[in-house]
Amino acid sequence: MKTLAIHKLVAALGIFSCALFIAPAANAQSDNPGPRFGVKGGLNFSQFFVEQPTVEDENIKVGLHFGIFTKIPVTDFLAFQPELLYTNVGSKVSYGGSDVSNLLGIREGEVRFNLNYVQLPLAFGINLGPINIQGGPYLSYLVSANVKNLRTSDLATINTIELDKNDFHKLDYGLLGGIGFDLRNMTIGARYNYGLRQVGKDGMAKDLTNRSRNSVAQLFIGFGF
């Protein structure tokens, strides 16, 4: 049900963005006051939606993102905004039940996934005066990963299981949508990223994150030069 809701949200953002693109240009104000180049950063609120019967709870992980952006006018009301960001995402997933040991080979408890990407968002923005509506694709490369509180199911030991970036897909891609408010040399806003590729590559990482994709809500602030 959670995955279905996410798909509906992405579809709604796509339809909304298309409607804005085909709206008459006369309805948009051409003089956008926002910065043309700058640095930005903010908070990530990320979560996995794991299709795994041993999952008891999925909680949000709070992370950071930061980097640079540029805003290239295409028409009076349309702009292209590529960015280069470092972004930290993941999730906190609780596994339990009588089958967790047999199916996954781990102990019951919360497992914290930490994935660090270099991300290239390629957003188009429609400027409505100081407001801009953003949408487009993104591409990410996994630079590091670690999984905390992951231990073997053998109660006689306290051995930990280590997962790193080789256990996850190095390339991630997806769609983004959001809204920003520009005022001279500052921009603030909110954005949602939805991955189209499964996070886990193979082995235990694939089993633990079964069919999970990156789902990230962002709050950001940027300053222009």
Kindly state the DSSP code that residue 199 receives in the 8-state scheme: S
User: Across-strand partners of 193?
Assistant: 176, 216
pLDDT of residue 153: 74
Task: Give me the pLDDT at residue 202, please.
Answer: 87
Q: What is the pLDDT of residue 151?
A: 81
**DSSP, residue by residue, 11-52:** HHHHHHHHHHHTS-GGGS-S---S-SEEEEEEEEEEE-----
Res 91: pLDDT: 96
What pLDDT shows up at residue 64?
Answer: 98
Give the total number of structural domains in the chain.
1
CATH code at position 176: 2.40.160.20
What's the confidence (pLDDT) of residue 155? 60
Sign of the torsion formed by the C-alpha atoms of 146, 122, 15 and 218: positive
Residue 153's domain spans which residues? Answer: 2-224
Q: Side chain identity at 127, as an amino acid letter? A: N
Give 10-residue mean pLDDT values along the chain (225 residues).
Answer: 46 44 41 77 96 89 97 90 97 86 81 96 93 96 93 69 92 97 92 97 90 96 92
Identity of residue 8: K
